[in-house]
Amino acid sequence: MRTPIKAELKEMLRRLKLPTFAAQHAAQSALAANEGWSCDQYLLRLCEMEINERETRKRQRLLQASRLPREKTLETFERSRLKRNIERQFAALLDGEFLRRAENVLVFGNPGGGKTNPHNYPHRETR
């Protein structure tokens, strides 16, 4: 006797390492039937959910691996302590344009100022 299709599908999705597909296919299938989605729309929705969940898990994994202190954020960073010219440079870094131009960022300062310690830099929560 053949294994019921839902159990077989769940096992195959697990073997393919598609946990969000496995968890959501039944609910999305019912929604697709109610909304009259095509097979392509149904699969697209499941793919979007799988990708979003993978990206979320990756961000969480990378943030945890960075060991950055969670309490240090841009909101808690005391920008008023920066000199005027440094404040302008800081604002330029925040716009992120240097990333699009693939430019390096060099940090200079007095010895013992914490330039090499990532815990001394504020970080932005990723979306």
Residue 111 CB coordination number (10 Å) = 5
For residue 96, what is the DSSP state? T
> Phi and psi for 73 in degrees, rounded to 5?
-135, 170
Do 16 and 58 lie in a common domain? yes
Do 51 and 18 lie in a common domain? yes
Instruction: Provide the domain limits for residue 100.
Output: 79-120
- Domain assignment present for 108: yes
Q: Residue 123 in 3-state DSSP?
A: strand
Q: What is the pLDDT of residues 57-101, one digit of tens each?
A: 999 999 899 887 888 788 888 888 888 888 888 888 888 888 899
- Both tokens of residue 106? 């060099």
Do 12 and 54 lie in a common domain? yes
Instruction: List C-alpha distances in Å: 76 to 28, 30, 62, 121.
Output: 41, 45, 21, 11
Do 11 and 61 lie in a common domain? yes
Do 12 and 58 lie in a common domain? yes
pLDDT at 42 over 50: yes
- Domain assignment present for 74: no
Q: What span, in angstroms and rounded, lies between the C-alpha atoms of 125 and 86? A: 22
pLDDT band at 48; cut points 50, 70, 90: very high
Q: What is the pLDDT of residues 101-122, one digit of tens each?
A: 998 888 787 776 666 665 555 5
Residue pair 117/65 in contact by the 8 Å Cβ criterion? no
pLDDT at 124 over 50: no
pLDDT of residue 37: 94
Count the domains in the chain.
2
pTM passes above 0.75 = no
- Domain assignment present for 125: no
- Domain assignment present for 71: no
- Domain assignment present for 127: no
pLDDT of residue 119: 55
